[in-house]
Structure 1
Amino acid sequence: MLPVVWLETALLDLTAITEYIAERNPAAATKLNYRLQEDAELLGELPAIFRRGPVPGTRQFVSHPNYILIYRVTTVAVEILNVVHSRQQYP
């Protein structure tokens, strides 16, 4: 199992998403934050089973119908690069 590391860009994405949702529904924001972090931890167990991303060397995991974790696998860790909305143009 590889450790999962959140890069600063992904943490900023996560913060922005949860703060936006919290303005309207704090409980939903807390639940989504928890789910995204829990799902990210699963990537350390089976990092290669999810689809390849549009950027070479990346993969995508649909954690929630509306949110996708963008990550890469290195020899020492799974690095969460970004959290994007499913309707967001990426990259």
Structure 2
Amino acid sequence: MKRLVRSATYRLDLDDIERYVARRDPLAAAKLVDHIDDQFAHLADPEFPRRAGKVKDTFELVVNKNYIVIFIESDTDIVALNVVHAKRRYP
């Protein structure tokens, strides 16, 4: 099984999302962040859906209609790089 790694930028993105949503609903913010991270944890299963990323050698996990986890994958690790809002233009 591959090791799941949460980068510092991924963690900062989750913190930013939680702060933003918490201005309206702190409970919903905590649930959303937990849901995003739970979905990332499912990537340990090679059958869990993922798609090629917009940046070469990256992949995307569509968490819901609003958030996408950007990650890279090696033979041993899956590294979450960022969480972006689906409407955000990136890279």
Residue identity opposite 1:57 in structure 2:
D
Is 1:16 the counterpart of 2:16? The answer is yes
Residue identity opposite 1:39 in structure 2:
Q
Is the CA contact (8 Å cut-off) linking 1:67 and 1:83 kept in structure 2?
A: yes
Is the CA contact (8 Å cut-off) linking 1:71 and 1:80 kept in structure 2?
A: yes
Residue identity opposite 2:64 in structure 1:
H
Q: Which runs of 5+ in 2 are unaligned?
A: none
Is the CA contact (8 Å cut-off) linking 1:47 and 1:73 kept in structure 2?
A: no
- Measure the CA separation in 1 of the matches of 2:88 and 2:69: 12
Number of positions where the alignment pairs a residue of Structure 1 with one of Structure 2? 91
Deviations 1:32-82 (Å, cap 9, x if unpaired)? Answer: 011011000011112784110011110001112100000010122100000
> Share of identical aligned residues, percent?
35
| TM-score, structure 2 as length reference | 0.93
Compared CA separation, residues 54 and 47, structure 1 to 2 (3 A): farther
Q: Tell me the residue number matched to 2:79.
A: 79
Is the CA contact (8 Å cut-off) linking 2:3 and 2:77 kept in structure 1?
A: yes
- Measure the CA separation in 2 of the matches of 1:5 and 1:42: 13
Q: Tell me the residue number matched to 1:68.
A: 68
Q: Quote the RMSD (CA, aligned, Å).
A: 1.4
Compared CA separation, residues 48 and 56, structure 1 to 2 (3 A): farther
